[in-house]
């Protein structure tokens, strides 16, 4: 059964797909310049690159200059609780570049974010606390970090049906490649909302914060054309975490 939040989310996404402006706190974005993926063409183009994946992992590598950027509109998830105030739509779009190189798919994301939330966190020491003079301290209890992710189906679509945009579903599990400004890159798997789990694996990803914008690269598997992808961005300054985030609709990989 759909909860109230599900219904809001679905109607918000429907409106987003239809290219219609929804209520400001749900999906609102002004139609950005012409490069915004239009409802008729929700396609992400890829470019073959002569550069190696290692080079393309550098966010400011020259090799990216030859790869055209596509501007993808971002939507805001509705509040999780009825008593939460709606969040402002502070990040309206993400610029996406995709390059195929040496049987890898390299993803390059750029988005404006005037606040960099990327403070380092002490790693969990590998030795037992009782063997050390000093234990690591929690540095803050209320901060959240900037992050980005790409989600795609774990396996080919059944009868052409794509998984739910809400973290997949039981019939359509999804993989998520997630990068967090403080905690690094990690692979996740999900079969619907609330089921996301870390697989324990990491993947190559780099990030650069410059002039009020993040540039993040991720090395993805050689995903086939036709596969749907969805992008997400979290803004630490807005205490984003979990489903409290910016997201794109499903975009079809060319």
Chain contacts with other proteins (rule: CB under 8 A):
80-85, 121-125, 129, 134-142, 183, 193-194, 196, 239, 241-243
Closest approach, Cβ 124 to other proteins, in A, equals 5
- How far apart CA 180 and CA 144 sit, in angstroms, is 10
Closest approach, Cβ 239 to other proteins, in A, equals 8
Closer CB to other proteins, residue 123 or residue 211? 123
* Structure-token match 């008729």, residue found: 40
Closest approach, Cβ 244 to other proteins, in A, equals 8
Closer CB to other proteins, residue 84 or residue 254? 84
Closest approach, Cβ 59 to other proteins, in A, equals 25
- How far apart CA 116 and CA 96 sit, in angstroms, is 20
Closer CB to other proteins, residue 48 or residue 124? 124
Closer CB to other proteins, residue 49 or residue 166? 166
- Bridge partners of 253, per DSSP, are 44
Closest approach, Cβ 125 to other proteins, in A, equals 6
Closest approach, Cβ 183 to other proteins, in A, equals 7
Closest approach, Cβ 145 to other proteins, in A, equals 10
* Structure-token match 């400004």, residue found: 181
Q: Are strands 93-101 and 47-48 parallel, antiparallel or unpaired?
A: parallel
- Are 32 and 111 in contact by the 8 Å Cβ rule? The answer is no
7 alpha-carbon distance from chain centroid: 22
Q: Are strands 184-190 and 174-180 parallel, antiparallel or unpaired?
A: antiparallel
Closer CB to other proteins, residue 7 or residue 241? 241
């Amino acid at each position: 059964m759909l909860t109230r939040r599900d219904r809001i989310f679905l109607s918000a996404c429907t409106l987003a797909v239809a290219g219609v402006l929804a209520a400001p706190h749900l999906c609102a974005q002004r139609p950005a310049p012409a490069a915004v993926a239009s409802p008729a063409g929700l396609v992400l183009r890829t470019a073959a690159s002569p550069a190696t994946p290692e080079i393309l992992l550098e966010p400011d590598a020259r090799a990216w200059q030859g790869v055209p950027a596509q501007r993808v509109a971002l939507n805001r998830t509705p509040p999780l609780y009825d008593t939460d105030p709606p969040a402002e739509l502070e990040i309206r779009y993400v610029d996406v570049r995709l390059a195929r190189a040496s049987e890898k798919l390299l993803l390059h994301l750029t988005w404006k974010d005037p606040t960099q939330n990327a403070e380092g966190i002490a790693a969990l020491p590998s030795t037992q606390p009782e063997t050390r003079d000093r234990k690591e301290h929690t540095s803050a209890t209320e901060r959240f970090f900037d992050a980005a992710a790409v989600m795609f189906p774990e396996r080919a679509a059944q009868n052409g049906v794509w998984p739910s945009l809400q973290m997949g579903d039981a019939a359509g599990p999804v993989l998520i490649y997630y990068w967090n400004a403080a905690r690094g890159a990690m692979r996740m798997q999900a079969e619907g909302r609330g089921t996301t789990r870390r697989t324990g694996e990491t993947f190559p990803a780099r990030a650069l914060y410059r002039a009020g914008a993040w540039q993040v690269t991720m090395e993805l598997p050689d995903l086939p054309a036709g596969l749907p992808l969805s992008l997400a961005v979290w803004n630490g300054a807005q205490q984003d975490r979990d489903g409290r985030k910016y997201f794109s609709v499903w975009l079809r990989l060319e």
